[in-house]
Amino acid sequence: MKRSPEALFDYITQDHEVLQIFKHHSVRVMYLATLLGKKIEHYDEDLRVAALLHDIGKIGIAKEILLKPARLTLLEKTIVESHSHIGNVIVRKELGKTRAAEFIRDHHEDWDGRGYPRRLIGEQISIQGRIIRICDAFDTMTYDLRNYNAVKKSHEEAFAELERCAWTQFDGNLVDTFISLIKEVELPNRWYDTFDVEVFKRTFPQVENPYHFF
């Protein structure tokens, strides 16, 4: 019997310190991607699952590498970058969700073809992969522990960075839509430090709560 995406997430994350750290990040990315996906009418269950499980391929990567407080060596970078491919395999084989797996594979592709793993260009990248790319970058800049090389950014600073990288890293149209959406929503102060699902629900009444996360 296939596991549900939520069960897979919990199963894989329960004893894994690194993925515990990324769990909250993943849930936030899921909400952000759902919001953006609905706005441009590309939301469906596969997008939600892909956003929730986008970093599931980090299972097995040593935390000394994933949380290294310094620049990664070329080899370490290659190892970390393998997570979008590994995530694709896990979600395809474990959940049988081929589409969601493809969106996960695409979540580090860049608009200008300089991303990974396939160096796709522009609209060759699934729109769902482009959606997750932006939501992931925003959350990473404003919270995530991987963001060692800079002080965490305010929302305004993160918007400026998204705009700076529009049409190189990101789909510029999606950047515009994302920024106006987040300005409208006004993320609550507790957004980054709560696991309280009620906060998520109040913030995103338009996003159904798919399960009890915590």
CB of 84 to Fe ion, least distance (A): 6
Q: Which residue has the tokens 């993943």?
A: 26
Q: Is the dihedral of CA 196, 10, 139, 132 positive or negative?
A: negative
Q: Closer CB to Fe ion, residue 88 or residue 166?
A: 88
Give me the residues that bind Fe ion (CB under 5 A), please: 55, 136
CB of 1 to Fe ion, least distance (A): 28
Q: DSSP labels for 79-95?
A: HHHTHHHHHHHHIIIII
CB of 80 to Fe ion, least distance (A): 9
Q: Closer CB to Fe ion, residue 46 or residue 55?
A: 55
Q: Closer CB to Fe ion, residue 55 or residue 161?
A: 55
Cβ partners under 8 Å of residue 211, min gap 6: 4, 6
CB of 133 to Fe ion, least distance (A): 9
d(CA 29, CA 152): 17
Q: For residue 121, is it left (φ>0), alpha (ψ between -120 and 50) or beta?
A: beta
The DSSP H or E segment spanning 130 is: helix 127-142
Of the CA atoms within 13 Å of residue 135, those in its CB half-sphere come to 30
d(CA 27, CA 213): 8
Cβ neighbours around 214 below 10 Å, total: 10
CB of 92 to Fe ion, least distance (A): 17
Output the six-digit token pair for 53: 């499980």
Q: Closer CB to Fe ion, residue 41 or residue 117?
A: 117
The answer to whether the peptide bond before residue 5 is cis (omega within 30 degrees of 0) is: no
Q: Closer CB to Fe ion, residue 198 or residue 213?
A: 213
CB of 116 to Fe ion, least distance (A): 10
Q: Closer CB to Fe ion, residue 46 or residue 136?
A: 136
